[in-house]
Structure 1
Amino acid sequence: MKSLNGEYKITLDDKGRLSLPTKIRTALEDNNHMLTKGPDGCIWLYPMEEWNKLMQKVRTSSSAFNSDFRALRRHLIGPAQDVEIDKAGRIAIPQTLREYAELIRDCIVLGQDDFVEIWNADRYRSYETESKEEYEIAYEKLGAALLREKDGE
């Protein structure tokens, strides 16, 4: 699979369909995908191969007797739905997921290497502003890790 990257402004149509950017459609290659709730109020779109890898990790990483694990499963797996890209390059986003992500019209499609995030455009702009300090810290940590790697630690 090609890397899924890029940030795109897209409009959701009146029937709840989102036209995927050509670069994203091309990178997805296959036609079957999984949509589910992501953290921070976005929707995740996974190619089926990547979804299956994630589900295998989820299955082996914890127990149904753990409350955090049950909550994660309910949020991630419970609402997940198969979607296909139609001949016009669109995916139909189920009503429950549109409501969760507050998708009404203006959306942001954001590539994340092996999956895609779909955001309400206003919510995404707010998230970027509110999380500025978090990602600056993450960049600092990444820089430190890269320096350690360069120095052979």
Structure 2
Amino acid sequence: MITGEFRNALDEKGRLMVPARIRSEISGNVLILTRGIDRCLWLFPPEEWKRIAANLLSNTSPFNSRARLIQRKLIAPAQEVEIDRTGRITIPVTLREYAGLTKETIVLGIEKYIEIWDEAEYQQYLTANESEFQEAAEELGGLVSF
């Protein structure tokens, strides 16, 4: 299970250290990186990405404008990235620009995938969505018991 919240910095070449705890949960050294929703990047193990991409493509049509939008935003920019010997991945410039990644980042492990955020962007997102989080937590309260 991939979980955790980590702060890491991009280096001058656009490389990001994948936290050791996350690396230990990933088999192999290749991941799939693509645009996420909410101005972050999504990082998937290849088998999980294949499942999601196949599901998206089999349930959408290129003749539907909304389906094309999803395909163009999520599927088209997806790229394989390799974890190097020191545990880093290189984030392509186009994806760095999309997510507004500058220097400081937040890496979130969310069970089956990873989100990469610019730290300031993530803090703004959390602040802007606090009341919505409270409402969502209230709704889930009936579904989850401790």
- 1:39 is the counterpart of 2:37: yes
Aligned length: 145
Bigger Cα Rg: 1
CA deviation string 1:9-43 (max 9, x = no partner): 00000000001110011111221111000011100
Question: Identity percentage over the alignment?
Answer: 45
Report the TM-score, using the length of structure 1 for normalisation.
Answer: 0.91
Question: Offset at 1:78?
Answer: 1.1
Match of 1:103 among 87, 101, 104: 101
Distance 1:131 1:29 in 2: 34
Provide the residue aligned with 1:114 in structure 2: 112
Alignment of 1:77-92 (within 5 A): 77-92=75-90
Match of 1:67 among 48, 65, 68: 65
Structure with greater proportional strand content: 2
How well do the aligned residues superpose, as a CA RMSD in angstroms? 1.1
Question: Offset at 1:62?
Answer: 1.9
Q: Gapped runs of 5+ residues in structure 2? A: none
Provide the residue aligned with 1:123 in structure 2: 121
Distance 2:94 2:130 in 1: 29
3-state SS, counterpart of residue 116 of structure 1: strand
Structure with greater proportional helix content: 1
Report the TM-score, using the length of structure 2 for normalisation.
Answer: 0.95
Match of 2:132 among 131, 134, 143: 134
Does 135-144 or 118-127 show the bigger shift? 135-144
Question: Offset at 1:60?
Answer: 2.0
Provide the residue aligned with 2:9 in structure 1: 11
